[in-house]
Each structure stands twice: as structure tokens, then as C-alpha cells.
Amino acid sequence: MAEKNDRNPTVLITGCSQGGLGFALSKAFANAGCRVFATARDPTKAASLVSDNVCEILPLDVTSKESIDTCVSTVQHETGGNGLDILVNNAGIGLTVPLLDMSIDDAKRMFDVNVWGMLAVTQAFAPLLIEAKGVILNISSVAGAVCMAWQGAYNSSKTAMTFLSETLRMEMRPLGVRVVTAMVGEIETGFYNHGTFSLPPDSHYKTIEAIIRKQSTGEMQVNNEKAWVTARNLVNDVLSGRSGQVWRGAALEKRMGEQSGEDDFDKGDSATCWGEAQFDIDDRSDNDDWDSVALSEGGAPPHSSHSPCDLSAPPNPSIPENELDNMLGLRTAMPAPQPASIAAMGHAPYLPSPCNTPTTITTPLARADLDELYFDRIHAFLPALQRRRYFSRSRREADAASQPYACLQSAMWTLAAAMSSQFQQLCQPLYRETLQRLSHAADAHGLDGTTARLDLARAWILVAVYEFMHASFESAWASAGRAIRLVQLLRLNVVDASGADDEADSFIEKEESRRTFWVVFCLDRFSCVLKGLPLTLSEQPICTRLPCPEEAFQSGKPVVMPFLSEAVAADAPIVVLSPFAESVIFTTLWGRTLYHQQLSAAQLPSCGIPSTDFRDRQLQLNGLVSRRMLQFQQTYSAAAVESDSMLLFTSIIAQTTVLTFCNAAEPSADSVPASDSFIDDVLGYQWRARAAANEIARLADSHSQFSVFKVSIPHTSSLSWNNDRT
């Protein structure tokens, strides 16, 4: 047990019976040096935590106000009035049974524990948490983000819990309390394999009872994550300052793909007696507690699925094997009726997913919503798609059924969900679905066409951006590398080597290719700057024109733009470029300063003093950067920059380029004699670097003027990380 002193964070955990996640969390928090109050409805089921000298055990029934109030008083006394640092709402129960056969009373009881019990405990401990500026960790489930047959009540309770938790996060943040929602997948606990299961004799699902029983008893769950691994990761999440949703444990989607097939379908299996579906608990033990509740042992059904006024049993039709997948909702969800308004918006009707990939977004309305979110919140910073052409392709069956196009759409919806409030729960399921689709597409044959490869390249770009926001740099960089290789394979660096576009359709297709190249070109430079890596894409062989203005792109009106080499030439005429084209130019100059900085660092140890080449490069970059900065400031007023998020982002890139360029001269100054004129140049660079840093800070403050959905989150994150390095 952690020594009791003011430096030990105090933690209270609900649902800590032996063998469950709460039990593992108690040990993990104690190992991290916390003072742990482990609670259970029956404290004897967590007794080994005391015998192992890990934590203190308290009785707590999350559905009893009296029990909750007593627990609060005990904790307040034990902590000496110093509040509670961490509250973990872990207690919960599960229910696996078809909705038509489910007891409403049982479902209400489950909601009382999973939903209202969590909220009641949070309300009661809120004063202690606010006093300590503490943290709430709510243990939800990925089941709340994915629709699964036979678990409708349990999944909906976890969905409700997740939304309550995320609402608490917003409401308690001003009070100084951080809220973390753990979306937990399959973990190795005693949640399953308890009690008996059978359907009522008149159940419509009697012929597939064996499948439902396997899901209820956990026979379908294999290779689950160890509870101590999940607990350790969650403790790290809490203690490292995470907030919002974190996804831990084995993926639910894996389970979905394992639940159908003829081997699992046994028409001859039937039960001779009725027993209501058993309650499963997140923290399983052997006797009655929230950890193990059998509601109706002993025979008589407490609930019938048909009307009590109808004395005759309803017919019990057998279910054809070819209908099993659709009933389970595992491989392809049943298509919802498509409203005429959705069809008019240009969305194709629902089509089966390729390669039996589970489809997370199953309704046309949700897809339409995510499409709109993408073009409203993502396109401005990743402008590689023409809106009208995208919706036109969605209507064409050949495109809509294409694997690469499905990959692109899934990646678009993943990013759109990440930038929404209503689809947050779908981010990770969509992300995993996208990776699965991309894996199938990579293994498929007949994907040599330009359009197919272009769709895959754009899908990998979007995946990389999502991973920069929500995963590790290594994952994002690997995905960016796939996009870069596809762009190289498509030779998008020489799109305009053959001449200009003659027709509007040709212009749109070429412009999409141009923009895909420039997006991945910028992504390459952002990524390399983050870690000081060598650039992947070189400027030398580029024969692709800069992106045209957005209005011309969306209207399909051909506009001839200059090449990059022409735009950055010392004697280039002043041309008004779009914000995206300006960002490409400043990103190019930023990449040049990075290369200059890396080359200088490699040469300085051998030369001892700045070489002539270094000084020439420094002067050349100084002229280019200063000239482009002046042109940009003359083209766009300060008011225009501060009212357009893309221009604001471009301004930050420009100032960061100046900062990086000026900092490149710093190491060289130490080895230069005091009489050398280069010293005066270095002093000037130092002054400009300070001015650039101040301007970056001012521009960053301007982000508060924009809606959170209108700010380039991945790009500004990249810049802030780079500024930490420079």
C-alpha cells in the first residue's frame, strides 16, 4: 500500500471485484504511487487487495444513495479534507440477449448501474474532485460506438455513458476537473463464461441460439488484451494528462468479423428450459454482486416476448443460413430507405462493402452529413477534391463499388468525424475500417489505373493527417510514405510536362492530380521538419503547375498557373496567388531553410568557420524569403490574414521560415572572428528571429477568433512542435 502523505494522489475505483478491470486498475494505480480506495458491492470479493497490501477496501453500491453518501464521508475523512484526486467509474453490468426477448426490467436495472450509477457517484464526489482539481476516468466501451446484434441494451447503455462522460468533460473543465473516457475493447477478465444461457421456446431466434450463446459466454472472444496491460495503459493516460476519449484493449471490429459462418450456425441446437439472459459484469467474480448477477435462476421466465393477451405462442420460423449475416449485422448492414432529398444531394444508394469489410456508417443520411463536414471543415486545408466531381463519382456505380474509392471515402469520413462533435465515437472504428480497406486494396489485382492509384494516394494522405492528430509520429510518417510512393509512381511531379488543358473536364482531373501532389509535397516537408529528417521529394524534377484559385477549381474554369520554379525565381513578376499556392511557396522555402540548416551543421565541424557556400546560400535565402514576405504582405492585408484561417496558417509558415532561416546562422557565429562582417549579419538575424517569434505568438493568439472547426489542427500542431525544436 502506498505510504499516506500529501504527495500521493488519492484514487477511488468502483467495481473492484477480483478478476476484473477494476481489480487490475487498483493494482496499477497503487504501483504508480497512488493511495487507492477500491470499492465493491461485496468487499469480500476484493479482499486480496488488502492482503496484498495494495489498497483500502470500501463497500459501495452505485445504485444506492445511502451507500454512495457513506462512501463519500469515509473518503473525505480518510483524506483529511484534501479532496479526491482521481475517480474511476468502472462498475457496470452486461446483457447479451435479442431485444425482442429481453426483459425491460433487466434492461432498466443495467442502465441504473452503467449510466445512472456512474452519474450518481460523479455527482456525489464532485465537491471533492473540484477541491483537488482532480480527474474522472469513466470506463466505457467500444461497444457503445458500434451497433452489434444481441447486445442492443448493453451497447446503448455504453453509448449513453460515453455521451454523459463527454458532456461532463465540457461542463467540468471550467471547474478544474479533467474527464477521460476510456473506450475499452475486449480484455481478458471474467466478464463472460458465467451462468447459463437459453432463449425462450417461442423466440424468433431459436434456430441460431448457439451463435448467441457463444457471444454471451465469450467463446467468440480470443486473443483479448490482458487486464493488467489495459489497466497500466489507462493509468498512464490519466497520469500523463490525457483528456477526452482514449481507446484501449482489443478492437471490437475484430470480433465482428469472427461471428458469422456456417460452422457457427447449428439449427439442431435448442434448449429445453428457459433462463433469462445472464447479467455479465465488467469485473466478474463467482457470486452475486455487480460482478455476477443471474436474474432468473430456477426456471419460470419473468418476461415473454409476445403479448400476454395472446395465449398461443407466436410462430417460430427457421432462419435461412444465407440470411444469417444480415441478421447479425456483421458483414453488411441492412440498407435503410433512402430519402429522395439525399438522392438529390448526389449520394449513391447503399452498396455492399468490398471484401466483406464491416461498414461503420450504414445510413445515407450519416454519409451525407460526413461528406458535408469534410468539405466544410477539412477541404480548406487538404484541397485535393473537386466537390461536384466527388458527388458525381458517388452516383456512378462503377466508382461507388470501387475498392480505392471506398478507401478514399472511408478516410474522408474518418477525418470528418474527428472534426465533429456528433461523430466522435466513430473516429477509431472508421480509422480501423479505413486501414482494413486499404489493406484489401493493396492485396487486390487490377488496380493499375491512374484513378485507382490516385484515390489510394489521397486516402493515405488523409490517414496520415489523422494519425498526426491521434496516433504516433511513426505511424503517421509510415502512412505519409505510402502516399508519397504512390504519388511518385503516378509521376504527379510532371503533370504539366505535356502541355495545357483543353477542356474543363480535363482541367478538373489534372487539377486534382496537381493538388494531390502539392498536398503530399507539403506533408513531406511538415513531417521532415518535425523530426529534422531529410526531405523525400526534391524540387528539381517538378513540372507541375501551382494550384489554381479555389473558385476556378470548383467551377471548372481553366486557369494557367506558374510553375514553382517560376514563382520563387529572383526576377519573378508579382502574381496574386491563392492562399493554398502561397502556402506551397512558403512551405518550399521552409524546406530549403531546413536543408540549408542540415547542410551547414554537417559542414561546420570540418571547416571550423562558415564556408563561402554557406554564406552564399544564406544570402540567397535571405533575398528569396524577404521578397516573398513583402509580396505576401502587399497582396493580403493584416485584416484579410486574420479573417481567413488558411491565410493565417500561411502567415505562420512564413514567419516560421524566417525564424528557421535566422537560427541557421547562430552556430556559425561562434567560430567567426569578431572583426568579420558576418557578425553584423548574425546580429541582424537575431533581431529578425525575435521579431518572427513574436509575430508567430501574435498570430497563434488570433486562432481564438476562429471556430475550433475552422482551424487547421494538424498543421498548427506541426508548427508548434517545430517551434519547440527551434
Q: Which of 405, 455, 413, 407 is nearest to 434 (CA)?
A: 407
Instruction: Indicate if 390 belongs to the active site.
Output: no
Name the catalytic one among 26, 103, 154, 513.
154
- Which strand (E) or helix (H) includes residue 372? helix 364-373
Find where cell 513540372 sits: 543
Q: Rounded distance, CA 432 to CA 435, Å? A: 5
Three cell numbers written together for 477: 510518417
Residue 233 to residues 16, 88, 223, 286, 318, Cα–Cα distance (Å): 17, 14, 18, 27, 45
Three cell numbers written together for 259: 461471428
CB atoms within 10 A of CB 582: 25
Name the catalytic one among 17, 140, 420, 527.
140
Instruction: Indicate if 140 belongs to the active site.
Output: yes
Residue 469 to residues 105, 414, 415, Cα–Cα distance (Å): 43, 12, 10
Q: Rounded distance, CA 711 to CA 162, Å? A: 26
In sequence order, what are the residues at sequence separation of 6 or more whose Cβ sits closer than 8 angstroms to the Cβ of residue 356?
A: 257, 331, 332
Torsion angle defined by CA atoms of residues 421, 423, 427 and 431, in that order, rounded to the nearest 10 degrees: -140
Torsion angle defined by CA atoms of residues 21, 25, 28 and 30, in that order, rounded to the nearest 10 degrees: -140
SS3 assignment, position 223: coil
Q: Rounded distance, CA 315 to CA 308, Å? A: 15
Length of the chain: 726
Find where cell 452486461 sits: 94
Angle at 510 (CA atoms; ends 504, 511), nearest 5 degrees: 85
Angle at 102 (CA atoms; ends 144, 62), nearest 5 degrees: 60
Question: Quick one: 505 exposed, middle or buried, by C-beta within 10 A (0-12, 13-18, 19+)?
Answer: exposed
CB atoms within 10 A of CB 59: 16
SS3 assignment, position 281: strand
Q: Rounded distance, CA 700 to CA 60, Å? A: 47
Q: Does residue 203 contact residue 316 with C-beta atoms inside 8 Å? A: yes
The DSSP bridge partners found for residue 86 are 11, 135
Residue 178 to residues 9, 28, 129, 230, 248, Cα–Cα distance (Å): 14, 20, 9, 20, 19
The counts of H helices and E strands in the chain are 28, 12
Q: Does residue 431 contact residue 482 with C-beta atoms inside 8 Å? A: no
Fill in the DSSP letter of residue 708: G
Catalytic positions: 140, 154
